[in-house]
Amino acid sequence: MRILTFGRGGVHPPESKLTKDKQIENMEEVEEVLVPLHQHTGAPTQPLVKPKDTVKKGQKIGDSDAKVTSPVHSPVSGEVVKIVETTLPNSRKSMAVLIKNDHEETWDESVKPRDDIGSLSKEDLLKIIREAGIVGLGGAAFPTHIKLMPPPNFPVDTLIINGAECEPYLTGDHRLMLEEGESVIKGVEILIRILGVKKTFIGVEENKSDAAVSLDKIVHSMGLDKNIEVVLLRTKYPQGSEKHLIKAITGREVPSGGLPFHVGCIVQNVGTTYAIKRAVYDGIPLIERVLTVSGSGVVEPKNLKVKIGTIASDIIEFCGGAKEDVRKIIFGGPMMGFSSYTLDLPVIKGTSGILLFTDQELMEYEEYPCIRCGRCVDACPMGLMPLFIDGYSRIGDFDKAEEFRALDCIECGSCAYICPSKRHLVQSIRMAKTEIIKKRKAVKK
């Protein structure tokens, strides 16, 4: 296989893939779930149930008439206790449905396997994906049915399946590729039918070469090797970024402010692809996902398939509990995830991991003034100058930050990781982006 990469920039933090050899376990028994109604990019959904209602597993409990949105479903059968506001792992607020599990596993009537997949049209498939509440499971949680409808004036000829999983600690996608490879490829076939692409690539980092070999064998056994190519990617962060996958695999560069379809590409995560197969073939909406529980603060790190809405503290207990000297909680990966002060938060569709760190991983760093060393410039995979965006953001000059292309920042954290002064670069750049976008919206009004 070819080994590809995106070129300049990027870093290689310690991988710490503690769970790479641990098979996915099902976390079945939960007493209750707290299912947020806004787990995606776009408009929040409105509740379709009320307190004391009986719900079935897979039943739609939230939806919206907005174009960019994604419905949510109950991952258990039981009774709606209440609808409350909750905090999400990304620190945002959302209304959520608290459901008490009756442990009877009564499925909604709409959940049933489909016998004749071949007769489904592109429109049928998009409707199934939309109604199943499938969003990008790599982190952004953008509604998948919208992503699969690029503007007609931007023809797409290439599909890329993202199996890079370049974040340290996370191994859920790796295990999915090894354990559910055939389902992943069936999901790829569905995407090919929807997009009508000429070529599909599955990009896997070389530190997961066993998954690449396994998928390649499945592709050949299914007679799909003329249309689908498995390629190895250099192990480098952020290799899993959409724009950098496209650059590495096709050589095309997404323009500033552009999206993958502007260069004829669509990128989908491995977990999303697996969820699409489950929705189309098995009729099962997105009510659970695979995530990694890891870090030195967890008694027994695991890869788990958990129900959406499961409280993180219950997940940690399932992994033997937390050690007494936990210093930091992260939802997601250590590079782009979100720190939290509590485990009393629900897992949402975009939660790829729960990490507990102790002093073994953490060191106290005081932030010092920028020394203009330029390391952040060398590390930035987007070719930006983080030190200047950071500086202008801190003094409130967001117009100048915009001139230095703050909006092109993908918030990967490479600059902060490499900075000898331990500047909080991502936080200040994120603040600049928020203010720039806010100003643009105000001008439009």
**Helices 181-195 + 270-282 axis angle, to 10:** 80
| 334 φ, ψ (degrees, to nearest 5) | -70, -20
Q: How far apart are CA 431 and CA 335, in angstroms?
A: 17
- Measured between its terminal Cα atoms, the distance across the chain in Å is 52
DSSP class per residue in 140-197: T--BHHHHT---TTS---EEEEEE---SSS--HHHHHHHHSHHHHHHHHHHHHHHHT-
Rg, C-alpha atoms of the chain = 21
Quick one: which H or E segment has residue 312?
A: helix 312-318
Is the distance from CB of 387 to CB of 432 less than 8 angstroms?
Answer: no
- Locate the domains of the chain by residue range: 3-20+112-282, 375-444
DSSP class of residue 237 equals B
Quick one: which H or E segment has residue 303?
A: strand 302-307
> Which CATH code of 3.40.50.2300, 3.40.50.11540, 3.30.9.10, 2.60.120.200 fits the domain covering 3-20+112-282?
3.40.50.11540
Torsion of CA 77, 81, 86, 89, to 10 degrees: -30
If we measure between CA atoms, which residue out of 265, 271, 37, 314 comes closest to residue 134? 271
Task: State residue 10's pLDDT score.
Answer: 95
Give Cα separations from 222 to 45, 177, 198, 275, 398 (angstroms).
Answer: 39, 16, 17, 20, 53
Q: How far apart are CA 347 and CA 369, in angstroms?
A: 37
If we measure between CA atoms, which residue out of 168, 163, 274, 275 comes closest to residue 211? 163
Amino acid present at 36: P
Amino acid present at 93: K
Strands laid side by side in the 328-331 sheet: 24-26, 302-307, 288-294, 353-357, 328-331, 338-340
Beta bridge partners, 231, equal: 203
Q: How far apart are CA 314 and CA 38, in angstroms?
A: 22
Each residue's pLDDT tens digit in the chain (445 positions)?
A: 678 999 899 999 999 999 999 999 999 889 999 999 999 999 999 999 999 999 999 999 999 999 999 999 999 999 999 999 999 999 999 999 999 999 999 999 999 999 888 899 999 999 999 999 999 998 789 999 999 999 999 999 999 999 999 999 999 999 999 999 999 999 999 999 999 998 999 999 999 999 999 999 999 999 999 999 999 999 999 999 999 999 999 999 999 989 999 999 999 999 999 999 999 999 999 999 999 999 999 999 999 999 999 999 999 999 999 999 999 999 999 999 999 999 999 999 999 999 999 998 887 678 999 999 999 999 999 999 999 999 999 999 999 999 999 999 999 999 999 999 999 999 999 999 999 999 998 887 7
Task: State residue 28's pLDDT score.
Answer: 84
**Helices 122-131 + 181-195 axis angle, to 10:** 130
Strands laid side by side in the 228-233 sheet: 3-4, 228-233, 199-205, 158-163, 265-269
Q: Which two tokens stand for residue 158?
A: 């290439």
pTM: 0.95
If we measure between CA atoms, which residue out of 333, 354, 340 comes closest to residue 411? 333
Give Cα separations from 191 to 82, 124, 288 (angstroms).
Answer: 38, 13, 21
Q: Which two tokens stand for residue 427?
A: 């936080």
